[in-house]
Amino acid sequence: MGAVSNSPVTDLVLRDAPFDSPEAITLIAELQQEYVTRYGGQDETPVEPGEFTPPAGLFVVAEVGGELAGCVGVREHAAGGEQCAEMKRMYVRPAFRRRGLARKLLSAAEQRAVVLGYRRLVLETGDQQPEAVSLYQNSGYRPHQNFGIYADEAGSQYFAKDLV
């Protein structure tokens, strides 16, 4: 992995990838390890690779200078009402943090969700990820009712944003 830099990401390539592609598997495994470090266990939310395949979903990997740097996924969220999607597996590798990549991934997820016909994005994060909470709040996400397997967990935080 490259050296940590605070310079903005300028050589970014975002590309759609299957949720079960080698790149996605690598990034998701690193994210799951981060959950272990921050929360003591992996995210056990049920996911199926097909949920992240158009036209119902998507999965995007980010490369900077030809190196895997992060990812984000979007899948249909039936409980959120019509034309609602859930963002999952947003992750930026440590060497690429604090360079604006998370904001670019978030924007890409929002734009691609609109292309798929979604009008709203919802997400769940936790109180041990203050940088994520700040990103979402500063990007127009507002508190949302709890959902999913962590709905009764005290540290879970839920957000939503109307896209159009």
Q: At what angle do helices 101-115 and 130-138 cross, to 10 degrees?
A: 50
Which residues are bridge partners to 68 per DSSP? 63
- Domain assignment present for 129: yes
* 7 inside domain: no
The CATH number that applies at residue 49 is: 3.40.630.30
User: What's the length of the chain?
Assistant: 164
Q: What is the pLDDT of residue 82?
A: 73
Residue 52 near residue 74, CB atoms below 8 Å: yes
Asked if 56 contacts 88 with a C-beta cutoff of 8 angstroms, the reply is no
Does a structural domain hold residue 3? no
Mean pLDDT per block of 10 residues along the chain (164 residues) reads 59 96 98 97 94 96 96 89 91 96 97 96 96 97 94 95 94
Number of domains in the chain: 1
Answer yes or no: is 4 within a domain.
Answer: no
pLDDT at 1: 45
Model pTM? 0.91
Instruction: Give backbone dihedrals phi and psi of 29, rounded to 5 degrees, phi first.
Output: -65, -40
Answer yes or no: are the C-beta atoms of 139 and 106 closer than 8 Å: yes
Instruction: Give the structural domain span for 129.
Output: 12-162
The answer to whether position 6 is within a domain reads no
Q: What is the pLDDT of residue 164?
A: 87
